[in-house]
């Protein structure tokens, strides 16, 4: 049985804080990270959430384990994150408090995600804090779980322009991201010797046109700037600790670990318009965390700007699919569903194909993300296919997976005739015998739906985006 991720006493006695930074609704990503952390056997004394990171922090404080958190994120209805104000308000833009309100989050999202205020306040095993901006004082307040209210949680993710600030007693409160998007010093004050930061705010060199992109850039500048300021405070504190002067009782200098995407995650509009889904975000988070946990750097990472740096994303063609069928397993037969997502990138003229996936096999009792996913486009004797390989862990057992998806031509892609079927095999690691084997298919409706949701991101050069989309599909086949 897995040990709880958040506990009053860690098994190894190390004081650890888990910092779930912001990043909007796309922070379903964090659910995959939490699953990987629990699999690895890590435990934390404290969890802290800021902005969108409040969702998963509140779910942990409500007593949910990472597997249930991932399941709830996979099933949540994204449309409920959007809740409009009365129509006549939009005709008075000078007096408009925000484009939307929090009713959908209060009445639909919190119950769907299992966020329960009574359980949060009564939970003595999970030491959680939630950050809000006290706009009246222009300061950050870290609210402990035993004192938090629903208004605090809502205010903590009330991004100006999109959701209104909330009045609590005599002060106005809003999202803390403009001051800081991760409250590392709260963890330090609580005696943390290791800080594990889950970071999803973009941090690459590219500056994009468009008002929404530049609004996001302002958030990126504020968030990363606030983080670097906290880094400087911790570096100064570590010098004091090394001299034997430890005001918060750390016995050794504080160590930092950062789990982040390799490339900036798609923004919330992509999620609302189904260009990506929560399942894909969970699988990306799991894969990113597994990659870091498999090679944890000795002594952590440096407190500097490289800690959250991401690679420039280039032009990216994203597409995903859902295959289903019945697998032959070592115990008989089992229903199976396989959900791969692909991103075909062009960076400085160099093409690459990356993949993430999850598998829902009856024998596993839950949907399991695939780690170490690798995708190859293979052409042999006029036959083309995508081969996806990776590893997965379920109930402490490791498995290896290989999926082969036959392809025909770019014309089949545009006609919705591609991705009809595939073969899949799962073996226990180190075994030559199949644990599960299946031929899976995809309905015509799913193929057309996924064709419509395929998206081209980060194309801002000369020419038509549609033409570039066509070129990327052609490049994939040639």
Per-residue pLDDT, averaged over 368-377, amounts to 93
* Claim to verify: residue 98 and residue 57 sit in the same structural domain: yes
DSSP code for 22: -
What's the number of domains the chain is made of? 2
Give counts: helices (H), strands (E), the chain.
14, 19
What residues contact 355, with CB distance under 8 A and at least 6 apart? 340, 341, 342, 343, 373, 374, 375, 386, 388, 390
**Residue 458: is its pLDDT beyond 60?**
yes
Rounded to whole angstroms, how far apart are CA atoms 352 and 369? 22
pLDDT in tens, 161-193: 899 999 999 999 999 999 999 999 999 999 999
Which residue, of 262, 294, 326, is where some domain finishes? 294
Q: How far apart are the first and last CA of the chain?
A: 48
* Claim to verify: residue 150 and residue 259 sit in the same structural domain: yes
pLDDT in tens, 22-81: 998 899 999 999 999 999 999 999 999 999 999 999 999 999 999 999 999 999 999 999
* Claim to verify: residue 287 and residue 319 sit in the same structural domain: no
* Claim to verify: residue 459 and residue 390 sit in the same structural domain: yes
Q: What CATH number should be reported for the domain holding residue 185? A: 3.40.1090.10
Which residue, of 294, 326, 347, is where some domain finishes? 294
* Claim to verify: residue 112 and residue 190 sit in the same structural domain: yes
Closest CA to 382 of 354, 414, 418, 406: 406
Q: 309 lies in a domain?
A: no
* Claim to verify: residue 48 and residue 116 sit in the same structural domain: yes
Q: 326 lies in a domain?
A: yes
pTM of the model: 0.96
Catalytic, 175? Answer: yes
* Claim to verify: residue 320 and residue 221 sit in the same structural domain: no
Give the per-residue pLDDT at 220. 95
- Which of 51, 62, 358, 369 is catalytic? The answer is 51
* Claim to verify: residue 321 and residue 370 sit in the same structural domain: yes
Give the per-residue pLDDT at 2. 65
What residues contact 138, with CB distance under 8 A and at least 6 apart? 179
Give the per-residue pLDDT at 97. 84
Residue 387 main-chain phi, psi, to 5 deg: -110, 120
Give the per-residue pLDDT at 378. 87
Contact 53, 15 (CB under 8 A): no
pLDDT in tens, 425-453: 999 999 989 999 999 999 999 999 999 99
Catalytic, 51? Answer: yes
pLDDT in tens, 384-429: 999 999 999 998 899 999 999 999 999 999 999 999 999 999 999 9
* Claim to verify: residue 221 and residue 134 sit in the same structural domain: yes
The number of residues in the chain equals: 478
Rounded to whole angstroms, how far apart are CA atoms 103 and 408? 47
Contact 119, 62 (CB under 8 A): yes
Contact 347, 314 (CB under 8 A): yes
Rounded to whole angstroms, how far apart are CA atoms 310 and 379? 32
* Claim to verify: residue 319 and residue 272 sit in the same structural domain: no
* Claim to verify: residue 337 and residue 228 sit in the same structural domain: no
* Claim to verify: residue 270 and residue 342 sit in the same structural domain: no
**Residue 380: is its pLDDT beyond 80?**
no
What residues contact 263, with CB distance under 8 A and at least 6 apart? 204, 310, 311, 312, 313, 316, 345
Q: 236 lies in a domain?
A: yes
**Strand bridging mode 46-50 / 16-20:** parallel
Residue 388 main-chain phi, psi, to 5 deg: -115, 125
DSSP bridge pairs for 402: 389, 425
Min mean pLDDT across 169-173, 270-274, 375-379 is at 375-379
What residues contact 307, with CB distance under 8 A and at least 6 apart? 197, 199, 231, 256, 258, 301
Domain containing 207 equals 16-294
Q: 386 lies in a domain?
A: yes
Rounded to whole angstroms, how far apart are CA atoms 393 and 388? 17
The two structure tokens encoding residue 46: 């404290």
Rounded to whole angstroms, how far apart are CA atoms 143 and 163? 20
- Which of 48, 116, 175, 363 is catalytic? The answer is 175
Q: 5 lies in a domain?
A: no
Rounded to whole angstroms, how far apart are CA atoms 155 and 269? 21
Give the per-residue pLDDT at 461. 75
Q: 458 lies in a domain?
A: yes
Rounded to whole angstroms, how far apart are CA atoms 360 and 307? 34
Q: 302 lies in a domain?
A: no
Q: Return the SS3 of 427.
A: strand
């Amino acid at each position: 049985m897995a040990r709880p991720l958040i506990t009053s006493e860690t098994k190894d006695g190390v004081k650890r804080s888990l910092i779930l930074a912001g990043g909007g609704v796309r922070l379903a990503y964090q659910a995959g990270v939490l699953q990987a952390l629990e699999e690895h056997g890590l435990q934390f004394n404290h969890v802290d959430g800021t902005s969108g990171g409040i969702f998963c922090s509140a779910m942990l404080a409500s007593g949910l384990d990472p597997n249930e958190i991932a399941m709830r994120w996979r099933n949540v209805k994204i449309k409920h994150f959007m809740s409009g104000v009365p129509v006549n308000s939009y005709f008075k833009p000078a007096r408009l408090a925000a484009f939307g309100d929090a009713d959908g989050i209060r009445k639909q999202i919190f119950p769907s995600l299992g966020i329960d205020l009574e359980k949060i306040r009564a939970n003595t095993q999970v030491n959680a804090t939630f950050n809000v901006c006290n706009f009246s004082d222009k300061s950050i307040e870290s609210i402990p779980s035993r004192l938090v209210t629903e208004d605090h949680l809502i205010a903590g993710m009330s991004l100006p322009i999109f959701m209104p600030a909330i009045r609590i007693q005599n002060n106005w409160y809003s999202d803390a991201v403009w001051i800081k998007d991760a409250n590392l010093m709260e963890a330090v004050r609580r005696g943390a010797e290791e800080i594990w930061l889950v970071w999803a705010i973009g941090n690459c060199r590219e500056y994009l046109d468009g008002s929404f992109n530049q609004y996001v850039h302002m958030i990126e500048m504020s968030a990363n700037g606030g983080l670097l300021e906290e880094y400087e405070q911790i570096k100064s504190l570590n010098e004091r600790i090394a001299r034997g002067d430890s005001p918060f009782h750390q016995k050794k200098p504080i160590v930092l670990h950062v789990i982040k995407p390799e490339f900036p995650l798609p923004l919330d509009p992509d999620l609302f318009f189904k260009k990506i889904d929560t399942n894909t975000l969970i699988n990306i988070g799991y894969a990113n965390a597994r990659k870091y946990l498999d090679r944890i750097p000795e002594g952590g990472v440096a407190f500097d700007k490289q800690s959250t740096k991401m690679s420039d994303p280039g032009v990216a063609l994203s597409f995903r699919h859902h295959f289903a069928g019945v697998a032959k397993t070592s115990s008989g037969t089992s229903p199976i569903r396989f959900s791969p997502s692909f991103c075909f990138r062009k960076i400085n003229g160099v093409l690459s194909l990356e993949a993430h996936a999850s598998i829902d096999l009856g024998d596993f009792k839950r949907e399991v993300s695939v780690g170490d996913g690798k995708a190859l486009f293979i052409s042999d004797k006029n036959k083309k296919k995508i081969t996806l390989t990776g590893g997965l862990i379920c109930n402490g057992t490791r498995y290896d997976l290989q999926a082969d998806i036959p392809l025909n031509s770019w014309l089949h892609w545009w006609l919705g005739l591609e991705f009809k079927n595939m073969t899949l095999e799962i073996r226990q690691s180190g075994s030559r015998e199949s644990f599960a084997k299946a031929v899976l298919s995809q309905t015509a409706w799913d193929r057309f739906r996924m064709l419509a949701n395929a998206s081209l991101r980060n194309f801002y050069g000369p020419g038509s985006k549609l033409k570039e989309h066509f070129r990327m599909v052609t490049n994939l086949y040639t």
